[in-house]
Chain A
Amino acid sequence: QKEVEQNSGPLSVPEGAIASLNCTYSDRVSQSFFWYRQYSGKSPELIMSIYSNGDKEDGRFTAQLNKASQYVSLLIRDSQPSDSATYLCAVNQAGTALIFGKGTTLSVSS
């Protein structure tokens, strides 16, 4: 069974710090990797996608992918209280539905 694992948290960081969120996946042929942010009572919002090994930066967010280790991470620099949410890691093979982890809850304190 294909699985995506995340630490449920909560991960607590002070405002301005770097938050590091991690995800591992079981299916070696996975090709596409995504991070979604979900505020309480809202729908998942796509914030990052990454398809090849290495780092991808977008503003304060950096996604890191290591296919050999089957590991994806999301770094949030200069964390803000508005970043407090649940972050969902999602993985798929080309053209199939996403498999989601259960999410990591991030709490940023001011």
Chain B
Amino acid sequence: DARVTQTPRHKVTEMGQEVTMRCQPILGHNTVFWYRQTMMQGLELLAYFRNRAPLDDSGMPKDRFSAEMPDATLATLKIQPSEPRDSAVYFCASAHLGSSYEQYFGPGTRLTVT
């Protein structure tokens, strides 16, 4: 049963702390996306990678957010330092662009920064 996995599922942290979220894309998918969802803004694209290379990170606050893909089975999103306004659900999605453009989402990480 191929699916995107994300860890942790929930994270509560204090302002100023570092947060790292991890994503394992579906095996064979070559494109990984990071989204953030809030009630006010809906789903927003933060960054995405194709074949592990970053293609677009214009949605990320550059001073505090960073995204990497150290290998084909792992994508990470880091926030340092975290702020209360970063509280949201962070989703990872993967796709095999080239055969279709369908993206499949992981279960998300619910982040609360106090």
The interface of chain A, by Cβ under 8 A from chain B, is 32, 34, 36, 42-46, 49, 88, 90, 92, 94-103
Contacts and interface: CB of A to CB of B under 8 A. Distances in A.
A1 B107 CA distance: 29
B59 to A, nearest CB: 9
The 6 closest A-B pairs by CB, nearest first: A102-B42, A43-B105, A100-B43, A32-B101, A97-B45, A44-B105
Contacts of B108: 43
B71 interface: no
B105 A97 contact: no
A46 B104 contact: yes
7 contacts: A34-B101, A36-B105, A43-B91, A43-B107, A95-B97, A97-B33, A100-B43
A34 B33 CA distance: 16
Interface residues of B, number: 17
A96 to B, nearest CB: 8
A74 to B, nearest CB: 16
B103 A100 contact: no
B56 A44 contact: no
Given A100-B43, A102-B42, A44 B102 contact: no
Contact of B42 (A42, A43, A45, A101): A101
B45 A98 contact: yes
A98 B101 CA distance: 9
A43 B106 contact: yes
B69 to A, nearest CB: 15
